[in-house]
Chain A
Amino acid sequence: LAKTTQPISMDSYEGQEVNITCSHNNIATNDYITWYQQFPSQGPRFIIQGYKTKVTNEVASLFIPADRKSSTLSLPRVSLSDTAVYYCLVGAFGGGGNKLTFGTGTQLKVEL
């Protein structure tokens, strides 16, 4: 399974855009990139998933360069409620099973 590297922590202010980058140099051809959000004492919550280029949903965007060795989660106009740990996961789903490998995650702190 591909190992991921993320910043341990990031600070931001309300209304700003936050970009969290994840490195995954040994990503495999059939690996997808998925981001989860976790609040204290709760289970992780799916944010977004992509394979290449750009994916956007109602809460975030995911940018994946052509070599797929990194990815960037972009959170537009963050609020205090976005303070959480964000995990970048790389792995194959479906036939590969649902064995999610979580790294250390990035603790995002949003202030007023």
Chain B
Amino acid sequence: KAGVTQTPRYLIKTRGQQVTLSCSPISGHRSVSWYQQTPGQGLQFLFEYFSETQRNKGNFPGRFSGRQFSNSRSEMNVSTLELGDSALYLCASSLRRGGDVNTEAFFGQGTRLTVV
């Protein structure tokens, strides 16, 4: 089956602009999580969506937002970009059933965002 697809793979933006990243989860997966990876901070959790609702949120400013559509595809938006937002943004999908244990999260290749 197809894996997690993130688009675009690479992006260059200017400070102050906004950006939207897209994530298509594995078919049948209803949970989508977003992560930011930088050399200094490592992998940090941004937020998780399930059934079009945000279920968990990490410690990021309100400039970082997201949403999930009825087909489980998710978008992440960053407004008023700062140089420090340059990072690899990763999306992960998992098969979440209420009360069950998920065995693993499948990650996409990520979107490399560079803010200049």
Contact = CB atoms under 8 A, between A and B. Distances in A.
Interface string A61-105: 000000000000000000000000001000001110111111111
25 contacts: A34-B104, A42-B107, A42-B109, A43-B4, A43-B91, A43-B108, A43-B110, A44-B107, A46-B103, A46-B105, A93-B103, A94-B96, A94-B98, A94-B99, A94-B100, A95-B99, A98-B48, A98-B94, A98-B96, A99-B33, A99-B56, A100-B92, A100-B105, A102-B43, A104-B42
A43 B90 contact: yes
Contacts of B33: 98-100
Contacts of B107: 42-45
B15 interface: no
A105 B42 contact: yes
| Chain B contact residues, majority secondary structure | strand
A44 B50 CA distance: 21
B55 interface: yes
A49 interface: yes
A41 interface: yes
How big is the B interface, by class? 20 to 34
Contacts, number: 73
Interface residues of A, number: 22
Dominant SS at the A interface? Answer: loop
Interface of A: 32, 34, 41-46, 49, 87, 93-95, 97-105
Contact of A93 (B101, B109, B110): B101
A93 B96 CA distance: 9
Contacts of A49: 103-104
A77 B48 CA distance: 36
